[in-house]
Amino acid sequence: MRKSNLIIGAVFIGICILFIACNENASSTKGKIIISQGKVEIIRNNNSMPAKVGTIVLQGDIIKTGKDGVAVVRVKKSQAEFEIQNNTEFEIKHVGSGQENFILKAGGVWTKVNKLLKNDAFSLDTPTATLGVRGTKFYVFQLGDMHVVCHCQGDVNFLDKGNNTSSIHEQDHLVFTRNNKTIILSPEELKDVGFAHNHSVLSNSPLGPKNTMNKEVFKKVMALVNKKFKELK
């Protein structure tokens, strides 16, 4: 009888350990919608469902927003937060096991990544570049025929897919890519035109302040951008 109880106890402990391990593994591949406004949907296994506050997102999910839609997603126990802005398609490609990869297919996303552990890796793919970070904040968006990366905080490893070159872009730089060509605006140039690293479309985003850039600052930035692209020819 005693031997039978020991066997039952061992089996029970084994089931508990397995249950805990499965739950830990599941939690590492999950995220959560913490803000949702306007039209926001999750595409999972080719099926669409509304993305409401509290909705769980999984590895492989695609989050799509409409022209009035915006969502903030927190993944892997607050290790990263994404403000997915209007007219955006964003895929949670892989999370868990210390390796995280996301894909911005269209639109704009403001990203904050907390400090990673030594062997962890985080990357975001865009149509023109792959961004690798160890803990930083950056903003990626489309502007006409250009893809733009704003390095708001910390350094970002930047791989240009057009010419397969890599570089490290430091904090406060603004990088524009057009037709496989890339130009960079320095912190000094951005300061001169009054550029600020406020990229939210929300008034209550956990990533930072709302964008209040006026037309004059935008014109100055674009004048610099067009001048630098012309100088490449």
Domain ranges of the chain: 31-232
CATH number belonging to domain 31-232 = 2.60.120.1440
What does the pLDDT read at residue 227?
95
What does the pLDDT read at residue 78?
54
Please tell me the least confidently modeled range out of 43-52, 82-91, 146-155.
146-155
pLDDT, greater one: 110 or 30: 110
Q: Write the CB contacts of 95 (distance below 8 Å, at least 6 apart in sequence).
A: 28, 29, 30, 31, 59, 75, 76, 101
Mean per-residue pLDDT, 162-187: 87
- Please report where in the chains the tokens 């999984």 appear, as a residue: 58
* Separation CA 221–CA 144 (nearest Å): 14
Q: How many CB atoms lie within 10 A of CB 116?
A: 17
What does the pLDDT read at residue 18?
44
Q: Tokens for 106, please give them.
A: 């269209």
Q: Are strands 146-153 and 136-143 parallel, antiparallel or unpaired?
A: antiparallel
Model confidence over 126-152: pLDDT tens digits? 998 999 887 789 999 999 999 999 999
